[in-house]
């Protein structure tokens, strides 16, 4: 999905979070909550980071496999 938008996964998730925060602020629902925007932003940032950290091993494995596949294709082409 990030590729379709021409950005990296982290940037896309950040956009989603920021857009959601803008929507919530416009609606006023965050203003009445304890801790305000800073606490919510901190919680969201931590959740995003946790999710991304969980995905790193799979992303690295996929990237390595792509490199190996390309090397095999180039070797066959020679």
Q: What is the band of 73 on the pLDDT scale with cuts at 50, 70, 90?
A: very high
Of the listed ranges 44-48, 63-67, 71-75, the one predicted with least confidence: 44-48
The string of pLDDT tens digits covering residues 2-38 is 888 888 888 888 888 888 888 777 766 555 555 566 7
Among candidate residues 42, 39, 50, the one with its CA nearest the CA of residue 10 = 50
- Distance in angstroms (rounded) separating the CA atoms of residues 71 and 56: 22
Q: Are 2 and 8 in contact (CB under 8 A)?
A: yes
Q: Are residues 11 and 4 in contact, defined by beta-carbon separation less than 8 angstroms?
A: no
pLDDT in tens, 8-17: 888 888 888 8
Please give the torsion angle defined by the CA atoms of residues 36, 37, 42 and 43, in that order, rounded to the nearest 10 degrees: 70
């Amino acid at each position: 999905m990030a590729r379709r938008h021409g950005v990296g996964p982290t940037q896309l998730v950040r956009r989603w979070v920021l857009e959601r925060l803008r929507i919530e602020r416009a609606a006023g629902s965050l203003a009445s909550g304890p801790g305000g925007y800073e606490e919510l932003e901190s919680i969201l940032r931590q959740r995003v980071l946790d999710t991304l950290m969980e995905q790193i091993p799979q992303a690295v494995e996929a990237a390595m496999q792509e490199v190996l596949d390309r090397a095999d294709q180039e070797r066959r082409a020679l």
